[in-house]
Amino acid sequence: LEAGSFECKLDDVPLAAAIRTVVGGMRPVLPGEVDVSCPAGLVARADPDRLGQILANLLSNAEKHGRPPIAVDAARHRDVIEIRVRDCGQGVPPELRPGLFEKFAQGGAGSRRGTGLGLFIVRALARAQGGDAWYEESGVGGACFVVRVPAASPEG
């Protein structure tokens, strides 16, 4: 990813189906239902496998570090789609936010540890598809991670 030799195979991805597939595949490890809000007909211009990897990573983080309920919301804003993955945990402490997407970044002592590569990979994959990823405060508490990818043209 860092060398720039990674290629994404962009295609039109019906987003509601892609989200349902990832959530369905992760159902055994997710704490309860995941609330999905995605308008019918919303189509991203993305690599379907890499988009699935991004969503799975963010849902896994919500399961590991947050609390239910978990929600996935997608909406189109002009020529991009923003996907938000939210949980109702404690959120990310302000002192950890600047380094969240760096390699080997890990949460505080109370969180289940991983490799510290997940969010780095999320952002790198989003950028490889012409998008981006970031953290923002959730209006209801908990963490909210946002991924932006290009929208497919209205003609499909």
What confidence tens digit (pLDDT) does each residue in 91-112 have? 988 998 988 998 865 554 444 5
pLDDT at 50: 96
Q: What is the pLDDT of residue 109?
A: 43
Backbone angles phi, psi at 55, to 5 degrees: -60, -45
Q: State the average pLDDT over residues 70-91.
A: 95
**pLDDT (average), residues 13-19:** 97
Task: Supply φ then ψ for residue 147, to 5 degrees.
Answer: -120, 130
Instruction: For residue range 106-147, list pLDDT tens digits in order.
Output: 554 444 555 567 899 999 999 999 999 999 987 777 999 999
Q: Among residues 87, 51, 85, 95, which one has the least CA distance to residue 67?
A: 87
Q: Cα(26)–Cα(142) distance, rounded to whole angstroms?
A: 20
Contact at 8 Å (CB) between 100 and 94? no
At position 83, the amino acid (one-letter code) is: I
pTM: 0.88
Give residue 13's pLDDT: 98
| pLDDT at position 156 over 60 | no
**Confidence (pLDDT) at 154:** 75
For residue range 27-61, list pLDDT tens digits in order: 888 888 899 999 999 999 999 999 999 999 999 99
Asked if 129 and 104 touch (Cβ cutoff 8 Å), the reply is no
Rounded percentage of the chain residues whose pLDDT exceeds 70: 87
Q: What's the average model confidence in pLDDT over 12-40?
A: 94
- Average pLDDT in the 80-86 region? 97
The pLDDT value recorded for residue 53 is 96
